[in-house]
Amino acid sequence: MLIKTHADGFIHPHASEITPERVYRDRRRLLQLMAGGAAGAALAGWAGREAFAQGAPARPGKLAALPGAPSKVAGAITLDKATPYDDASSYNNFYEFGTDKAAPAKRAGTLKTRPWAIEVNGMVKKPGRYAIDDLLKLAPQEERIYRLRCVEGWSMVIPWVGYSLAELIKKVEPAPGAKYVEFVSMADQRMMPNVGSSVLDWPYTEALRMDEAMHPLTLLAYGMYGEVLPNQNGAPVRLVVPWKYGFKSAKSLAVIHFTDKQPETAWNKAAANEYGFYSNVNPNVDHPRWSQGTERRIGEDGLFSRKRRTLMFNGYEQQVASLYAGLDLKKNY
């Protein structure tokens, strides 16, 4: 099954391709916005992104290559151009290291990913504690090139390396009554300087309904761009759910728990009116503070570059819409 993500018809030049004429037009438009009193919000977002870009740490050399060559999974390939590695590895949400987008890349060097183990427990026939290296060998590694849209309105395209979470779930054999899978991230203040802050109720937790967790697109990722997963992107292993990215993105996994009760999740506890259990990338349901109707692709985001139209379920509607048949996604956000 091949996922064909069609171009949205917009042209998004890279910064190096912007001509003096375009700069002139941008300046002219900026003056028009300022005259209309509408420039403040646009400038604030752009200036923050540009300031981050100027101060982002240099990539500390190539990370260790993953052993072997991952198979490319046809059902998880997008036709969109991959986001440059430097952008994908330095513009991150990882609140354990701070709320600023640049904080994870600057601070995550304190995260020690070996030794590491994930505890699998709850309603399963085969609970256990999996050393990370054993977990990575559980199924053949695959490359999944996913388009990813964050709730804040920016997006990326990242080639992840990992395997379907379903492979692990089948191995541990959930009990018939298990309906949900809960993911608990590491919360060690010695390694993660922002753990203990009041921004969230630590540890960070996320959860999926069992059929969402078993969907073949739901990924346990331990690499990206053919390399070991960088600390700031959720090393040594994280959850990637491409139609829920930004809502369900548990990183540095420590516990996977199976239960018959719908778990409370970190963001749902922090702001229930903004992050419901069934939050999806859905252009028809705006976040209270951000529109889901459009997005700005990182790496293509000049001050006045045109935004992309956000696709239902992030472009994976054909694959995942059946999971929510009969469910009002505006009411059940």
Omega cis (within 30) before 115: yes
- The full length of the chain comes to 333
pLDDT of 41: 41
Report how far residue 298's alpha carbon sits from residue 30's, in angstroms, rounded to the nearest whole number: 21
**Cα angle 296, 236, 172; round to 5:** 110
pLDDT, one tens digit for every residue, the chain (333 residues): 333 333 333 333 333 333 333 333 444 443 444 444 444 443 344 344 444 443 444 443 456 777 776 777 655 666 789 999 999 999 999 999 999 999 999 999 999 999 999 999 999 999 999 999 999 999 999 999 999 999 899 999 999 999 999 999 999 999 999 999 999 999 999 999 999 999 999 999 999 999 999 999 999 999 999 999 999 999 999 999 999 998 999 999 999 999 999 999 999 999 988 899 999 999 999 888 889 999 999 988 665 678 999 999 999 999 999 999 999 998 888
Report how far residue 182's alpha carbon sits from residue 121's, in angstroms, rounded to the nearest whole number: 10
pLDDT of 75: 58
pLDDT of 54: 39
Strand partners, 158: 146
pLDDT of 76: 66
Listed in sequence order, the residues at least 6 apart from 133 whose beta carbon sits closer than 8 Å to its beta carbon are: none
pLDDT of 110: 96
pLDDT of 38: 40
220-to-124, 143, 273, 293, 333 alpha-carbon distances in Å:
18, 11, 28, 28, 24
Q: Which domains does the chain have, with CATH numbers?
A: 15-324 (3.90.420.10)
pLDDT of 304: 67
Report how far residue 158's alpha carbon sits from residue 82's, in angstroms, rounded to the nearest whole number: 6
